[in-house]
Chain A
């Protein structure tokens, strides 16, 4: 947790590029908190004990295998590997690391030119200050799952061939729901950031933050930062968090379900129209409908399965760019049908 105390230091290398002092000050203010509070060494990585233990061993032994890190977004994959690299190489870690993420050009040509030339360079076994350091470099490929197939296969050969001088670290998103205990740590962390940044935030709002971020640390911190700017000094409330993260207030969702029970198509139509007019995103609507229906005791399992099947279909259609109004109407009229059967 002393990451925060050292927080300012992380920016040190970046400062060089800024010509004047005044600018540094401003850019510091502009820096996303996510970057500001990124862990600096392996031990600071939150709630990844197993991984951390393995990595710590690797650093002691001055060796690192090729790695594939996967997990839900915002659980610290990038942070982990960056921290490990810093542990291995110390100050010279910048020259030893090639980091490419999906927004960089990562076609086959890049793999062939950039990655290959980088990996073919050999590296010395000593730091400038005489300490030993491993004689290899690390290529970090963030969001490797979005690489083109051609690039991935081009990478394969390079990985085998250059294993002497280069280690590869692939990071990809593996989306699944996050396990509970992490929430604890997340909350503690958020509180610390609040204290550090002098932001007042009610406990209720923190709860909401936990709920909306679903364990995604990055999302939680970003939301917190946005909220603090938006309110500029005032206390952040639950509704602010909901508003900023695009979560629909529960009474609207409940309203939809009540209307479904009424069995009136016309009412349903006008309600859905209003929801859309309020600017709420359809994906969010079905996400929250899902949450509220899954615990609904008035529906039998068979009914739920019918509804959730439709829900999945509608979600897919929305991903394909289908019209929001029509899709939600489709879903809700089915819910209405199922509910009314029950009565």
Chain B
């Protein structure tokens, strides 16, 4: 018994629930035999991986769903051992090279090489290439991306790459220009509602449209989250009522509370308390940019006018430095301290010397 989100995942291009036109084009692309490297991008929970699996199935048939987990070891030039686990079928292999951190270049080179150097049997019946799915390409180091670009050309004859990432901003132009880019926009709230209704119908449940709407709004156009939330509601209470509370994940509540603490009081003592909570968030592996965004959203809603812009600007400034730095907590804390300082100024109506803060 798996969760709904996995249970009702579409497996064929024809069965996709939204972006049907695009699905049609993809189908054509697969059929014409001349299959380019793909770069699939879009926000989290938009259905990128689902589409990739559908494409693979379109390419190779049902056999591609017979997957296994493999552990592979690589040795870096400096004799360091790297281990990475991959999901593979006979036709494709899926790797997340960013798992190994800064040494991702080695993984890319080795995986692609070992795969590209084996040919498919009986090319008459099958495709003559295998597919390598690389996930989280935007998290790859620049080194690895450069390595990738060469391998893409070199092994074109025996393998195709499907790259998957959230945003193309962090992918070097050289790779972007060598791939056929497929944008997967997040489903609209209406589309999410439709999918939720569909899932509930298959489960034999009755989902009030108000609740569906509510879930869709809460999910931020993230379908995965929406379906998971829907199931969480089911666990909590059934039959559904249309005014039922949609439970947010604990971490999100925790983040909101933290933001409210910042608003309530600005003092060194409070800063220390907030630091403790930030540590808690970070040690639970909540990505730092999610924390920054969450804080900003809550903080901004408690400011008005000019302050909103001010705070946004501060957040953008510190988030950038966070990416450059090593210890995320320093930068988030600096952001909180700055906000406290600015907010205090603002509150006490000391707008005139706002300028010497910046």
Contacts and interface: CB of A to CB of B under 8 A. Distances in A.
B147 interface: yes
B316 A327 contact: yes
B170 A102 contact: no
B332 to A, nearest CB: 13
Contacts of B317: 330
B309 A282 contact: no
Contact of A322 (B25, B308, B319): B319
A282 B320 CA distance: 14
Interface in A3-48: 23, 26-27, 29-30
Nearest to B311: A333
A218 B176 CA distance: 12
Q: Is the interface of A mostly helix, strand, loop or mixed?
A: helix
Given A232-B29, A326-B296, A218 B177 contact: yes
Interface stretch (A79-87, A176-184, A273-281): A273-281
Contact of B309 (A279, A314, A337): A337
B146 A103 contact: yes
Nearest to B317: A330
Contacts of A280: 183
A337 B323 CA distance: 27
A153 B319 CA distance: 38
B100 to A, nearest CB: 18
Contact of A29 (B33, B169, B186): B33
Contact of B151 (A103, A222, A231, A333): A103
A231 B146 CA distance: 30
Contact of A283 (B123, B169, B186, B320): B169
B113 interface: no
Contacts of A27: 157
Contact of B313 (A23, A103, A333): A333
B147 A222 contact: no
Contact of A329 (B29, B33, B316): B316
B308 A246 contact: no
A323 interface: yes
Contacts of B225: none
A181 B292 CA distance: 47
A318 interface: yes
14 contacts: A27-B157, A103-B149, A103-B150, A219-B177, A229-B36, A232-B32, A277-B43, A277-B46, A278-B186, A283-B169, A317-B316, A326-B293, A326-B312, A327-B319
Given A279-B186, A324-B167, 5 more contacts: A29-B33, A277-B221, A317-B320, A322-B320, A330-B316
